[in-house]
Structure 1
Amino acid sequence: MSKRIAGPEIERLIQLLAKVPGLGPRSARRAALHLIKKKDQLLAPLTAAMGEALDKVRVCSTCGNVDTSDPCTICSDPRRDPATLIVVEDVSDLWALERAAAMNVRYHVLGGTLSPLDGIGPDQLNIRTLVDRVAAGEVKEVILAVNATVEGQTTAHYLTDQLSDLDVKVTRLAHGVPVGGELDYLDEGTLTAALKSRTAF
């Protein structure tokens, strides 16, 4: 049995921080200690920001993004191309694509991938609203930007099947050699995907 090293309030802070992805128990202890040492500069503003986020952040009823408005800023932006819809697994994927600023389009967040072993079926994901959005007729292309995992590919096949009767083009992200990548450092799956997805030079 490990000894308690601090009061229950600090222990609770450490336990909650340890639940944040990317922070284990050791990192959580370091983060908690740093926050406590910088109480006025960090802990107080962080507490206020978290309270504000708790009160104001909403899940967009249209696409599943998180924002302070519903519909979100992306869905309500008239400058975005309504004919193209990028489907992602999670909000973090949406943010990554937005940082890349490759396309000025709209998104749809599934909230995960199909995983029967984990009890995640179509009803647990944001799939019905995707089909309804496409069926409305404004969307002409759906880009499946799911991860190249078994679950991601299973989800992509399921979505393609669900959208097959609708008048929409379904595409997916190319898989293969990353920009700046060296062949010697790539795994076999990536190399195989790159060869199968080869394009004219």
Structure 2
Amino acid sequence: MADTSKDIEELIGIMARLPGLGPRSARRAVLTLIKKRGALMRPLAETMARVAESARECVNCGNIGTGDLCEICMDVRRATGEICVVEDVADLWAMERGQAFKGRYHVLGGTLSALDDVGPEDLRIPKLRARMADEGITEVILALNATVDGQTTAHYIADELAPTGVTLSSLAQGVPIGGELDYLDDGTISAALRARKSL
């Protein structure tokens, strides 16, 4: 028979590695799961197993979904000619929470970083260029985090896309310097999107 306490400690250790959970929070979460085994733990385990099998990156934009194309890319109503470029999926989800942007997204998968040895070839910038032609993109909104690496990446993309004649804009008011989209409230994201400016 398995050592139950060892299994529980292992679960706590795994939970503690999740963002926002330390050892104490993980311990409380695991205790709640155990106490509500039927209502929480089993459904959570079953759902996690399904998601582990089905979750994949959208081949078009880089979002996470359960098919080759995510729901946003499959939605013809989102083909507005606007594409919002974000650093990662968490930023895309933050933008979607605000419900202000009705176009499509492009997830870069990171930012340029000399310190981390991340160059343009490590990001999904070539795919962005291809999508511009394939999807008839008329405006590229650079919604990158207001960090040094985010702004460096935004300038690089703006320089790369400038010869295409596409309208380039970035988020404006509401996004604090050094702020990250995933931590902003919906109203701030909506205001920033509405007040975007040309580069």
Q: TM-score range by the shorter chain?
A: 0.7 to 0.9
The 3 A distance-change label for structure 1 pair 177 and 105 is closer
Unaligned runs of 5+ in 2: 177-194
Structure richer in helix, relative to its length? 2
Letter paired with 1:57: A
The 3 A distance-change label for structure 1 pair 35 and 137 is closer
4+ runs deviating over 6 angstroms: none
**CA-to-aligned-CA distance 1:65-86 (integer Å, 9 cap, x gap):** 0111221110111111341000
In structure 1, which of residues 159, 162, 174 is the aligned counterpart of residue 160 of structure 2? 162
Q: What residue in structure 2 maps to residue 13 of structure 1? A: 11
Q: Alignment partner of 1:103: what SS?
A: coil
Tell me whether 1:28 sits opposite 2:26 in the alignment: yes
Tell me whether 1:86 sits opposite 2:84 in the alignment: yes
**CA-to-aligned-CA distance 1:125-156 (integer Å, 9 cap, x gap):** 22111121124360010000011111110110
Q: Distance in 2 between matches of 1:28 and 1:118?
A: 30
Identity over the aligned pairs, expressed in percent?
Answer: 53
Q: Alignment partner of 2:140: what SS?
A: strand
In structure 1, which of residues 57, 69, 72 is the aligned counterpart of residue 70 of structure 2? 72
Q: What residue in structure 2 maps to residue 45 of structure 1? A: 43
The 3 A distance-change label for structure 1 pair 22 and 65 is same
Q: Distance in 1 between matches of 2:30 and 2:122?
A: 34
CA contact (8 A) 2:80 2:102 kept: no
**CA-to-aligned-CA distance 1:73-124 (integer Å, 9 cap, x gap):** 1011111134100001111111121121112100001112112212222222
Over aligned residue pairs, what C-alpha RMSD do you find? 2.1
Q: Distance in 2 between matches of 1:177 and 1:16?
A: 33
Q: What residue in structure 2 maps to residue 120 of structure 1? A: 118
Q: Alignment partner of 1:87: what SS?
A: strand
Q: Distance in 1 between matches of 2:153 and 2:139?
A: 17
Query: Which of the pair has more CA radius of gyration?
Result: 1
The 3 A distance-change label for structure 1 pair 119 and 135 is same
Q: Distance in 1 between matches of 2:76 and 2:21?
A: 39
Question: Quick one: higher RCO (CA 8 Å, sep 6+), 1 or 2?
Answer: 2
**TM-score between the two structures when normalised by the length of structure 2:** 0.81
Q: Distance in 2 between matches of 1:20 and 1:57?
A: 18
The 3 A distance-change label for structure 1 pair 48 and 138 is same
CA contact (8 A) 1:82 1:138 kept: no
The 3 A distance-change label for structure 1 pair 54 and 176 is closer
Q: What residue in structure 2 maps to residue 60 of structure 1? A: 58
